[in-house]
Structure 1
Amino acid sequence: MRIVFAIILMWSAMPAAAADLTVRIGNLRSAEGQLLVAVCEEAQFTKPGCAYTGQAPASGGVVTVRDVPPGTYAIQAIHDENGNGTLDRRLMFLPLEGIGFSRNAPMRRGPPRFADAAVEIQGDGVVSFDMAYFQE
């Protein structure tokens, strides 16, 4: 009995394993190009270099990000319609392509705050949000 109890204690103390996160993106303007997704900790949110990324054809509206450890993250996505691997902007500011954030975090005069987009990831999961487009 003590051995079973010790094994249960050891198992419960082990950190949760990284898992796959499915990101479903709605409100796509077209099926052209790629969806680029980044799952970011607070320090990297809205900056290059998020540790967990994925991409998929926009036609499916779904991106899988592999091996995301449990934690609190904000998810950002770009609809790279022309396939150049970056978010095209007008006047160095307004996006010409779609951009979206977990929890449909609002963009008011710039990107949302981490707290507005933060989601708790614990194992395999699904996060859904919509893409936003600005007028050209």
Structure 2
Amino acid sequence: MEQIIKKIVFVFIFITFVSFNKKDFEEYYSITIKVNKLRNSKGVVQFALYNTEGSIPDEKYKRYYKKKVAPITKDSSTVVFTNLPEGKYAINILHDENENGKIDKGFILPKEGIGFSNYQSIGIRNRPKFSKASFLLNSDTVKEIKVIYF
């Protein structure tokens, strides 16, 4: 009888231990993203959030982690991404003036405004990449992204 009780206790402890995993204790955070000084209030702003090395640039918006589209009010727009686990993230925004969901280009350069976290300018020597645009999310965060027009 004592052996059976020991086995039952062992199984109970094992099941209890296995049922709790790291995700049960993981904290989740939010990112509030703001863009100001849009050149006009036409269209919408597309906000793409990335969490993988090599995911940006993403001209066709196929490698994002999460994406939201928000209206423009008085040349500004804001979104909030919630329930994000701790980790590295990067932000890419598009002032999508014609609301077609993609970056419209002239000969080479975008016709609409774009922006990335941690970037104040974009050029041949300063091309967007995840390693530069990324930041560690370990608390609720507010990021203001500069919109760049060419």
**TM-score normalised according to structure 1 size:** 0.77
Is 1:71 aligned to residue 83 of structure 2? Answer: no
CA contact (8 A) 2:91 2:116 kept: yes
The residue type equivalent to 2:35 in the other structure is: I
2:144 aligned residue: 128
Q: What does the per-residue CA deviation read over 1:79-136, in whole Å, with 9 as the maximum and x for residues that have no partner?
A: 0011111111112x310000001122531217323232111112432111210000xx
Between 102-111 and 70-79, the greater mean CA deviation after superposition? 102-111
When Rg is computed on C-alpha atoms for both structures, the one with the higher figure is: 2
1:107 aligns with 2:112: no
Please state how far the C-alpha of 1:73 moved relative to its aligned partner. Answer: 1.3
**% same residue:** 30
Residue in 1 that maps onto 2:8:
none
CA contact (8 A) 2:56 2:128 kept: no
Residue number in structure 2 paired with 1:44:
55
The structure carrying a bigger strand percent of its residues is 1
The equivalent of 1:16 in structure 2 is: 27
**Map of 1:32 onto structure 2:** 42
State the aligned residue count.
122
The alpha carbon displacement at 1:25 in A equals 0.8
Structure 1, unmatched stretches of 5+, are 1-9
CA contact (8 A) 1:39 1:73 kept: yes
